[in-house]
Amino acid sequence: MDLQERQAVAHDFTYLRNADQVRRFVANGFLVPLRGNADYEIHGVSFPYARPEVQLFVQRLSSQYRSACGEKLVVTSLTRPQNRQPSNASARSVHPTGMAVDLRIPRTSACRSWLEKVLVSLEGNGVLEATRERRPPHYHIAVFPRPYQRYVSGRGGSTSTPTRMASAGTESAGAPASVTQAVMDLSDYRVRRGDSLWAIARAHGTTVDRLVSANELRGKRIYAGQVIRVPVADR
């Protein structure tokens, strides 16, 4: 908790007090929505918003997890304002800052082992802190935004402009070949103010329908700061 709190202070993050503050941060682009896609789902989350770097982390990790395990990653909590924290939550929890995400523990030992190995590796790289909680059972992960951005950029990934990811850009250097292949077919793009799906599709040689499908969007509205997955142009 000390490390997570220090990171929140270093990033000058606000501990959001209530739902109104969450909505204001969403409206101003400090928090972005996570709606789920072909690789992950949102389950029982009251406020499905997080810092953009958390969205990027979930998208990258879930793509690899689904390729390795054949199932979706399940997100069970994201931003929680202070007045919606559970009774057993620590007063120093970083969920109110939007930099934390909780994941459901996989049912199979193989998938648990895969996921824990990746989380331990990322923790060793100083880009997050992960804890396996017992009540209720879940993985609590605090993503450190600036260190995580540097990590992704340093491994060949992109946090703002589209680039085709090499195998070194996956979260786990030991990921199976099938995981690497799945990641290479998509690139990450952070939406800029004034962007539209049509403009993004045209700039990257794809279609609006493919963007909607790749991100499992429920409509065609996108937000500044949102990270979307862009299919690589037809070969």
Q: Which domain holds residue 160?
A: 2-231
- CA 155 from centre of chain: 17
Angle between helices 177-184 and 52-69 (to 10 degrees): 130
What is the 8-class DSSP label of residue 16?
Answer: -
Tally: H helices and E strands in the chain: 8, 9
Q: In this structure, is the dihedral angle defined by the CA atoms of residues 21, 27, 31 and 32, taken in order, positive or negative? A: positive
One-letter amino acid identity for 15?
Answer: Y
Number of domains in the chain: 1
Q: What distance in Å separates the CA atoms of residue 40 and residue 34, rounded to the nearest whole number?
A: 10
Q: What is the pLDDT of residue 185?
A: 54
pLDDT by 10s per residue, the chain, length 235: 889 999 999 999 999 999 999 999 999 889 999 999 999 999 999 999 999 999 999 999 999 999 999 999 999 999 999 999 988 788 889 999 999 999 999 999 999 999 999 999 999 999 999 999 988 899 999 999 999 999 988 876 555 433 323 333 344 433 333 333 333 356 788 888 888 998 888 887 788 888 887 777 877 888 888 888 887 643 3
| SS3 track for 24-43 | HHHHCCCCEECCCCCCEEEC
73-96 per-residue burial string, b: 16 or more CB within 10 A, e: under 16: bbbbbbbbbeebeeeeeeeebbbb
**R_g of the chain, CA atoms, integer Å:** 17
Q: What is the pLDDT of residue 88?
A: 77
Q: What distance in Å separates the CA atoms of residue 214 and residue 118, rounded to the nearest whole number?
A: 24
Residue 63: which CATH number? 3.30.1380
Q: Which two tokens stand for residue 24?
A: 């204001």
Query: What dihedral do alpha carbons 220, 221, 226, 229 form, nearest 10°?
Result: 0
pTM: 0.69
Q: Which two tokens stand for residue 19?
A: 């739902």
